[in-house]
């Protein structure tokens, strides 16, 4: 089991897992994920880099899960998710789909927002993710963040530095995520869906 990259900030009890959805060696995803983490100031943050996660072999998968993965507890502990994803061939990467498929109850009845990027802003990845997440009972925020050619907006320390409007848009979607996170944490506790 690899050592997880965890960024726990001081905060209230709400926990947001930021999932960095690319495993390529020269990937952009952690740069964007750092921009997202910096914008979260009202929750504990756990940054999950897919490139550091080894999932079991898919031959062991069955509906609703399979053997417990090394990140199952971290996903279960989260009250909400930010999926940071590139667009590959008008969808999101297969590695991210595997992470989704390897968990079930850990996702259910929690909110998520999507931060996607690509040559045209990653909107095809965003819309594909929404449908898959709906099947898991994950509510997605109305606002999603689409970043066009983010590799053109890096400073000399490789930090993503977009137009201020994009950071404002991200902040608005994180506020929406937080609203859902509070609401759904209460609902999971006090009004669980009857079996």
Query: Per-residue string for binding with ligand FMN, 151-180, x by CB under 6 A?
Result: ------------------------------
Strand partners, 112: 81, 140
H-helix or E-strand containing 47?
strand 44-49
Which residues inside 67-86 make contact with ligand FMN, applying CB under 6 A?
86
Minimal CB distance residue for ligand FMN: 118
Nearer to ligand FMN by Cβ, of 64 and 131: the residue is: 131
**Helix, coil or strand: residue 111:** strand
Neighbours of 148 (CB within 10 A): 15
Q: CB of 27: closest distance to ligand FMN in angstroms?
A: 4
Nearer to ligand FMN by Cβ, of 14 and 50: the residue is: 50
Q: CB of 22: closest distance to ligand FMN in angstroms?
A: 3
Q: From the list 80, 111, 118, 146, which residue makes contact with ligand FMN (rule: CB under 6 A)?
A: 118
Residues 6+ apart with CB under 8 A from 130: 114, 140, 144
Query: Per-residue string for binding with ligand FMN, 90-109, x by CB under 6 A?
Result: x-------------------
Size of the site for ligand FMN (CB under 6 A): 13
Residues 46, 37 contacting (CB under 8 angstroms): no
Q: From the list 7, 8, 9, 24, which residue makes contact with ligand FMN (rule: CB under 6 A)?
A: 24
Q: Tokens in use for 159?
A: 């930090």
**52-87: b (≥16 Cβ within 10 Å) or e:** bbebeeeeeeeeebbeebebbebbeebbbbbbbbbb
Strand partners, 111: 139
**Helix, coil or strand: residue 118:** strand
Q: From the list 1, 89, 152, 193, which residue makes contact with ligand FMN (rule: CB under 6 A)?
A: 89
Q: State the residues that interact with ligand FMN by CB under 6 A.
A: 22, 24, 27-29, 86-90, 118-120
């Amino acid at each position: 089991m690899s050592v997880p990259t965890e960024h726990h900030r001081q905060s209230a009890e709400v926990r947001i897992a930021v999932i960095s959805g690319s495993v390529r060696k020269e990937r952009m995803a952690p740069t964007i994920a750092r921009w997202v983490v910096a914008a979260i100031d009202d929750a504990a943050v756990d940054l999950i880099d897919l490139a550091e996660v080894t999932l079991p072999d898919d031959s062991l998968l069955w509906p609703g899960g399979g053997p417990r993965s090394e990140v199952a507890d971290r996903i279960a502990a989260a009250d909400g998710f930010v999926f940071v994803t590139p667009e590959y061939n008008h969808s999101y990467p297969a590695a991210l789909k595997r992470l989704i498929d390897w968990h079930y109850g850990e996702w259910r009845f929690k909110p998520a927002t999507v931060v996607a990027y690509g040559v045209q802003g990653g909107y095809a990845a965003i819309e594909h993710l929404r449908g898959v997440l709906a099947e898991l009972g994950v509510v997605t925020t109305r606002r999603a963040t689409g970043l066009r050619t983010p590799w053109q907006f890096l400073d000399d320390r490789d930090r993503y530095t977009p137009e201020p409007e994009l950071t404002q848009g991200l902040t608005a979607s994180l506020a929406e995520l937080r609203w859902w996170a509070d609401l759904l944490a209460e609902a999971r506790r006090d009004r669980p869906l009857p079996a």
